Amino acid sequence: MNRYKIEGGYPLRGKTEVCGAKNAALPILAATIINGRKSIIHNCPDLSDITSIIEILKYLGCKVERRGKDVTVDSSTFISRTIPHFAMKQTRSSTIFAGALLARNGYAFIPGSGGCHIGARPIDLHLKGFKALGADITFQPDGIVCRAKHLRACRIELDFPSVGATENLMIASSLTPATTIITNAAMEPEIVNLAQYLRSVGAHIKGDGTSEIHIKGTLSPKDAEVTVIPDRIVASTYASAVASAGGSVEICGISPGLLSPFLAVMRRMGMSINCTKNGFTICKNSGLVNLPYVCTGPYPLFPTDCQPMLVAAMTTAYGFGAVREKIFENRFGHCSRLNDMGANVTVRGRTALIRGVPKLKGANVDACDLRCGAALTVAALGAGGTTYISNTHYIDRGYENLVSELAKIGAKAERID
């Protein structure tokens, strides 16, 4: 089993480039089956989650070729198949195929899905939207069947601005000839990126990035092309690493506006941040101060995916801090692991209470999910001694060779057997 070995106490210095966003690339790849033609996805990250989605595309008969950061999908050879359980178990993101399968062939089967265990991710909002679009929903012992001879345009009001539901309904609506309106839609940058792809297919979309999205589908889909946006969560992880280990790092290839809620919190804690058009430099010039209250929420609020790395950085900041998690009810698995490293974190319901300690210590810890693994990596960089992190397959789901990239900016980190 692969592990990370990280020797803490070495400040980070230099420059690093942000890869393409996992959370943008996955729904775009799933959507490539709707046009029945060729799609070229630029800046696609090399992650295990991406590999899983590509394998599903191949199972569905698509021809997929990867050259460097470019992935080409030819869905003209698509075969109407039910995605098997073994494929769906590899990643929760496989649920996003439901909207694409409904749009392409009027049938989708949704078995249980895998991925990280960070709490319930109910798909009731997806199903409610599919039903409004004209799909019949049947619950079976092993999954959910969605059928629709013809999807119809409609108005859908989401009870919560779910990213996954918004994406699924945008994709499903992209081949309907009239206009579907999604209200209380998710506003994340990844939603805008998906809309860019669907426009290249031929759909007419307005309002992406706002709470109301209008999608007028196309009956004549075209070859499509899009560039995946930079990963704001990866950029936030590098910034958190500097907050933990110290130093000064230039993080390139991303507009700072994509992670402004996170950078605002870093500034309030005492980090020095200098933004440019295509990146930012983050420095730790003195000790950090904990914040009395940070709360996660839908974009543009503080991202839930950044919460574990923030908690890791807060463990050695001065004073008392609190972080409330409002998206997932079970996203504090990292806290007990951080306590194994000498942190003082107490979880009460959906709130983590952090009392800063002078320094963490190296330990043997295991990642319980993707961002937990990133948080432990962040903590290990500033800890005294050596930390070994197991279950690194979780980290591989969302980061391209994380320890190798950190080593390039001065970390004493490596992957070992």
Residues with catalytic function:
116
**Are 181 and 214 within 8 A, CB to CB?**
yes
Residue 229 DSSP code: P
**Are 374 and 400 within 8 A, CB to CB?**
no
Please tell me the distance from the alpha carbon of residue 377 to that of residue 385, in angstroms, as a whole number: 13
**Are 182 and 165 within 8 A, CB to CB?**
no
Q: Which residue do the tokens 């979309």 mark?
A: 205
Please, which residues have CB within 8 angstroms of residue 83's CB and are 6 or more apart in sequence? 56, 59, 60, 94, 97, 101, 109, 111
Alpha helices (runs of H) in 348-408, residue ranges in sequence order: 370-382, 393-396, 402-408
Please tell me the distance from the alpha carbon of residue 414 to that of residue 417, in angstroms, as a whole number: 10
Q: Which residue do the tokens 């199972």 mark?
A: 59
Q: CA angle 110-111-116, nearest 5°?
A: 105
How many Å separate Cα 409 from the centre of its chain? 24
State both tokens at 107. 């049938």
**Are 315 and 345 within 8 A, CB to CB?**
yes
Q: How many CB atoms lie within 10 A of CB 145?
A: 16
Burial of 320 (0-12, 13-18, 19+ CB in 10 A): middle
The residues pairing with 205 across neighbouring beta strands, listed in sequence order, are 215
